[in-house]
């Protein structure tokens, strides 16, 4: 099997950058699943995998928010890891991007959000040490040194999350050949699983929208789209 080390490195760099952007710097939403995964797909030459995995995970994690001191699941790691693995799996199989491949990636890597949460907790302890160091430096009159501690808080995010994302991309190269060996009914089952999971994710998103009358608004949206599709289908048949 041929491992594309450039793709693994690219995945690691992008995974690290968006991990920093997620909380430590700017927060302009480059780290949202829809954006982070689509860009990952673009970098690894597989936009469809990135886009459709990003869309599903955007919906799945729509309601998560970092409120006060609470730590939510790390939706960014889940998106970058899953899309990187899907893109490299597609490269390894050589058959291109398919819903079965997206489903398998999501089922295997969506749990990374919980791993990311644990890593975030560990990193908070590191930042607490930096804050204590900064206070001690300020007490000793070393103000520039104290201020510099703030920026040191970012590099572990880049390094740790970058490494995890790169590991997912690498895993994709090993999983690709295994996917090819799956029996046809299982592959068809996985292909069916994508729309099912996407529908579930959209429902979770409606629930996570925090709207006061979410079921009513979601029902209206679903009704309008179903009606439009039915009318369109009827028009085509007549």
Partner 1 sequence: MSVVGPPLTRRVLVHVFLRSLFLQASWNPQGMQNLGLAYALYPALERLYPDKQALETAVRRHLVFFNTHPYVAAAIVGGVLYHEQRIARGEESPERVVAFKAALMGPLAALGDGFFWLSLKPATGAVCAALVPLLAAWAAVLFLILYNLVHLTLRARLYLLGLSLGDRLVEAVARANLPTRGAKLRAVAAACAGGLAAWLAVSFGDNAGGRFAPLLSAGCLALGVVSYLLVARQVPNYVVLYLAAGLACAAGAFL
Question: According to CB under 8 A, which residues from 11 to 40 bind partner 1?
Answer: 23-30, 32, 34-35, 38-39
Applying the rule CB under 8 A, the residues between 155 and 184 that interact with partner 1 are none
* Closest to partner 1 by CB, 179 or 198: 198
Our CB check for partner 1 shows the closer of 4 and 153 to be 153
Which CB, 28 or 238, lies closer to partner 1?
28
Min separation Cβ 206 and partner 1, Å: 4
Site for partner 1 (CB under 8 A): how many residues?
98
Cβ atoms of 168 and 82 within 8 Å: the answer is yes
Q: Are 112 and 81 in contact (CB under 8 A)?
A: yes
Kindly list the distances between the CA atom of residue 202 and the CA atoms of 47, 63, 81, 196, in Å, as whole numbers in the listed order: 21, 11, 21, 10
Nearer to partner 1, 48 or 173 (CB): 48
At 31, list the tokens: 């780290």
Selected from 118, 151, 163, 178, the binder of partner 1 by CB under 8 A is 151
CB nearer to partner 1: pick between 3 and 133: 133
The residue among 177 and 221 lying less far from partner 1, judged by its C-beta, is 221
Instruction: Kindly state the smallest distance separating residue 91's Cβ from partner 1, in Å.
Output: 18
C-alpha 12/C-alpha 1 separation (Å) is 20
- Closest alpha carbon to 174 in 55, 42, 85: 85
Q: What is the footprint of partner 1 within residues 111-150 (CB under 8 A)?
A: 111, 124, 127-128, 130-132, 134-135, 138-139, 141, 143, 146-147, 149-150
Task: State the nearest-atom distance from the C-beta of 123 to partner 1, in Å.
Answer: 9
- Pick from 60, 63, 50, 64: nearest CA to 172: 50
- Binding partner 1 by CB under 8 A: which of 115, 117, 167, 193? 193
- The dihedral over CA atoms of 30, 31, 34, 38, expressed in degrees to the nearest 10, equals 70
Q: Which residues inside 61-100 make contact with partner 1, applying CB under 8 A?
A: 62-63, 65-69, 99
């Amino acid at each position: 099997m041929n491992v594309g080390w450039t793709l693994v490195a690219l995945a690691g760099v992008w995974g690290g950058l968006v991990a920093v952007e997620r909380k430590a710097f700017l927060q302009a939403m480059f780290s949202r699943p829809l954006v982070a995964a689509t860009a990952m797909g673009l970098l690894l030459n597989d936009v469809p995998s990135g886009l459709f995995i990003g869309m599903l995970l955007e919906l799945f994690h729509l309601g998560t928010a970092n409120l006060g001191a609470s730590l939510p699941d790390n939706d960014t790691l889940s998106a970058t890891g899953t899309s990187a693995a899907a893109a490299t799996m597609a490269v390894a199989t050589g058959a291109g991007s398919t819903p079965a491949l997206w489903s398998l990636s999501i089922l295997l890597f969506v749990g990374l959000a919980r791993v990311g949460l644990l890593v975030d907790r560990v990193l908070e302890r590191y930042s607490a040490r930096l804050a204590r160091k900064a206070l001690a430096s300020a007490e000793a009159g070393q103000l520039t040194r104290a201020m510099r501690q703030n920026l040191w808080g970012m590099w572990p995010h880049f390094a740790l999350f970058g490494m995890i994302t790169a590991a997912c991309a690498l895993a994709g190269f090993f999983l690709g050949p295994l996917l090819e060996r799956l029996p046809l009914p299982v592959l068809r089952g996985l292909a069916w699983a994508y729309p099912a999971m996407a529908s579930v994710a959209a429902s979770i998103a409606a629930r996570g929208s925090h709207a006061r009358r979410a079921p009513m608004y979601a029902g209206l949206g679903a009704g309008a789209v179903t009606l439009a599709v039915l009318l369109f289908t009827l028009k085509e048949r007549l």
